[in-house]
């Protein structure tokens, strides 16, 4: 961990003004993917990242088959292969344990990887640069240029602060892709807000050294407890990195009525005490203090399109509410945004930006609505306890849940799954949701 924040050479001085086809704000999964696909389509792309890569980023570092597919399609199969591959998920709860391989699927691989965001985001940004994107590091987009951007007007580009020199650059762009993550200050400057009726999440993670660092299953604990032993709606994870370390964390749902009173650091330390002894998680193996962040889910942030801009990844609230996964959806929405922008600039016209929103709805709308409702139900500790303890008695039920919750259903499974969605949605109507 000591070298996670490596020294960097200062970037060269930048001009006071600059022009490009597309400006991307942020070089996480969504911005990196957008930069790669746009550069590949031949457009003149500038991606600004306020930090220097590689940089540490608070995350569980878990890549599911959905993420792996996107990385393979970007041409990163070989590079990804240098990291820790795993085969499926081990679920533990209420004294039971179930091991489930990733399902076989015609469109997705049957394996995942665990890669630190330190390494992953640099890998994708370097790849985008090699494809022709310009990446400015230590470059923060401070404000849109458009005078009426906050009230629905065009962004017109952004004012960029060059941190290594203290200078600024006015970047004029035909289209801006906002990929600045969960806090999305730039998105908010364009008038985007979070829909508070949709649940969101909170997660915290830290690194430990562990003799089981090369385990080829990731582990999920579905019965995390507070200090008094009461089950709290959420889950704990242990993701092996294969380099001597494991990533350990917990995630919590805003649908839990006492969620604001939960001290996540204490909950994390009680999970660490309670985790199987074979992982050897304790103070002497802890490598850094845990850090946390918010999980904007279920396409809860919008509007995601404006006259000359799009919001992708966490900036648009694109995390899957079922499992808190956001990297795959960052890659997917970044790529979709890039496709739409390419069409707009190749003759479809700016009104076509709206097709980004309709395509998001087509791909994720029903699924995310159901997931959000389901999370409303799971926020009630007693219901969560009952559902999990019932599920843990059946390998078949849990394998179905894994496929549904990680969005890996095959087309021929969608009809029964839709029935399951309807049942879940009906269940969700019976209890009031409390979110804030």
Ligand X SMILES: Cc1cc2nc3c(=O)[nH]c(=O)nc-3n(C[C@H](O)[C@H](O)[C@H](O)COP(=O)(O)OP(=O)(O)OC[C@H]3O[C@@H](n4cnc5c(N)ncnc54)[C@H](O)[C@@H]3O)c2cc1C
Using CB under 6 A as the binding rule, whether residue 332 contacts ligand X is answered as no
Q: What is the dihedral of CA 57, 63, 69, 71, to 10 degrees?
A: 30
Nearer to ligand X, 31 or 391 (CB): 31
Task: Return the exposure string of 392-415: e unless at least 16 CB atoms fall within 10 Å of the residue's CB, then b.
Answer: beeeeebbbbbbbbbbbbeeebee
Contact status: 154 vs ligand X (CB under 6 A): no
Of the candidate spans 45-53, 91-99, 191-199, 343-351, the one that interacts with ligand X by CB under 6 A turns out to be 45-53
| The one segment of 14-22, 23-31, 99-107, 401-409 that binds ligand X by CB under 6 A | 23-31
Shortest Å, Cβ 361 to ligand X = 19
Helix (H) or strand (E) holding 186: helix 185-189
Q: Tell me the backbone φ, ψ of residue 38, rounded to 5 degrees.
A: -70, -40
Region of 48-56, 146-154, 225-233, 366-374 interacting with ligand X (CB under 6 A): 48-56
Instruction: State in angstroms the smallest separation of the CB of 182 from ligand X.
Output: 6
Can residue 307 be called a binding residue for ligand X (CB under 6 A)? no
Q: How far apart are CA 193 and CA 385, in angstroms?
A: 33
**Binding residue for ligand X (CB under 6 A) from 74, 177, 203, 375?**
203
Q: Among 50, 213, 304, 403, which residue sits at the site for ligand X (rule: CB under 6 A)?
A: 50
Candidates 1-9, 192-200, 221-229, 307-315; binding stretch for ligand X (CB under 6 A): 307-315
Pairing of strands 245-253, 234-240: antiparallel
Which of 28, 144, 317, 376 lies at the binding interface for ligand X (CB under 6 A)?
28
Candidates 104-112, 164-172, 322-330, 423-431; binding stretch for ligand X (CB under 6 A)? 322-330
For ligand X, which residue of 23, 43, 59, 123 counts as binding (CB under 6 A)?
59
Q: Which residues contact 239 (CB under 8 A, 6 or more apart)?
A: 60, 61, 62, 114, 218, 219, 246, 247, 248
Output the CA–CA distances (angstroms, integers) from residue 138 to 10, 385, 423, in the order listed: 8, 46, 49
Interface region with ligand X, contact rule CB under 6 A, candidates 188-196, 268-276, 318-326, 402-410: 318-326
128 in contact with ligand X (CB under 6 A): no
Which residues have C-beta within 8 Å of that of residue 168, sequence separation ≥ 6? Answer: 16, 142, 159, 160, 161, 162
Q: What is the Cα–Cα distance from 131 to 125, expressed in whole angstroms?
A: 10
206 binds ligand X (CB under 6 A): no
Closest to 234 (Cα-Cα) out of 271, 272, 198: 271
> Is 118 an interacting residue with respect to ligand X (CB under 6 A)?
no
CB of 158 vs ligand X, minimal distance in Å: 8
Ramachandran region of residue 309, left (φ > 0), alpha (ψ -120 to 50) or beta?
beta
Work out whether strand 134-137 and strand 45-49 pair parallel, antiparallel, or are unpaired: parallel
Is 295 one of the binding residues for ligand X (CB under 6 A)?
Answer: yes
Q: How many other C-beta atoms can be found within 10 angstroms of the C-beta atom of residue 58? A: 16
Asked if residue 124 binds ligand X (CB under 6 A), the reply is no
62 touches ligand X (CB under 6 A): yes
Rounded to an integer, what is the distance from CA 137 to the centroid of its chain? 21
Interacting residues with ligand X (CB under 6 A): 25-31, 48-51, 57-62, 140-141, 179-182, 185-186, 203-205, 249, 292-293, 295, 313-315, 319, 325-328, 330
């Amino acid at each position: 961990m000591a070298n996670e924040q490596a020294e960097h050479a200062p970037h060269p001085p930048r001009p006071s003004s600059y022009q490009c086809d597309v400006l991307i704000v942020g070089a996480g999964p969504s911005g990196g993917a957008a930069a790669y696909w746009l550069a590949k389509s031949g457009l003149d792309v500038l991606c600004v990242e306020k930090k220097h890569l590689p940089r540490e980023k608070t995350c569980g570092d878990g890549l599911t088959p959905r993420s792996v597919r996107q990385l393979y399609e970007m041409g990163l199969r070989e590079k990804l292969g240098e990291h820790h591959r795993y085969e499926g998920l081990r679920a533990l709860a209420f004294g039971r344990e179930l091991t489930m391989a990733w399902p076989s699927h015609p469109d997705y691989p049957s394996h995942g990887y665990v890669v630190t965001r330190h390494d992953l985001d640099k890998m994708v940004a370097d790849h985008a640069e090699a494809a022709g994107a310009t990446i400015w590091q230590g470059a923060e987009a401070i404000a849109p240029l458009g005078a009426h951007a906050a009230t629905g007007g065009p962004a017109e580009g952004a004012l960029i602060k060059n941190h290594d020199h203290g200078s600024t650059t006015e970047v004029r762009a035909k289209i801006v892709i906002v990929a600045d993550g969960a806090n999305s200050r730039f998105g908010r400057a364009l008038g985007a807000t979070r829909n508070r009726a949709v649940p969101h999440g909170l997660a915290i993670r830290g690194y430990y050294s562990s003799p089981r660092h090369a385990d080829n299953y990731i582990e999920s604990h579905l019965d995390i407890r507070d200090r008094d032993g009461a089950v709290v709606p959420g889950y704990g994870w242990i993701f092996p990195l294969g380099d001597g370390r494991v990533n350990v964390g917990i995630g919590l749902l805003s649908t839990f009525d006492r969620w604001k009173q939960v001290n996540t650091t204490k909950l994390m330390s009680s999970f660490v005490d309670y985790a199987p002894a074979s992982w050897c998680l304790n103070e002497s193996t802890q490598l850094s203090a845990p850090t946390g962040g918010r999980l904007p889910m279920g396409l809860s942030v919008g509007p995601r399109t404006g006259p000359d801009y799009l919001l992708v990844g966490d900036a648009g609230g694109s995390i899957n509410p079922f499992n808190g996964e956001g990297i795959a959806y960052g890659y997917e929405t970044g790529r979709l945004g890039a496709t739409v922008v390419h069409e707009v600039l190749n003759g479809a016209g700016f009104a076509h930006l709206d097709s980004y929103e309709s395509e998001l709805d087509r791909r994720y709308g029903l699924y995310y609505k159901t997931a959000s409702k389901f999370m409303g139900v799971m926020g009630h500790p007693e219901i969560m306890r009952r559902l999990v303890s019932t599920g843990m008695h059946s390998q078949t039920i849990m394998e179905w849940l894994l496929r549904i919750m990680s969005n890996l259903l095959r087309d021929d499974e969608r009809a029964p799954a839709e029935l399951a969605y309807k049942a879940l949605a009906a269940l969700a109507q019976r209890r009031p949701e409390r979110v804030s």
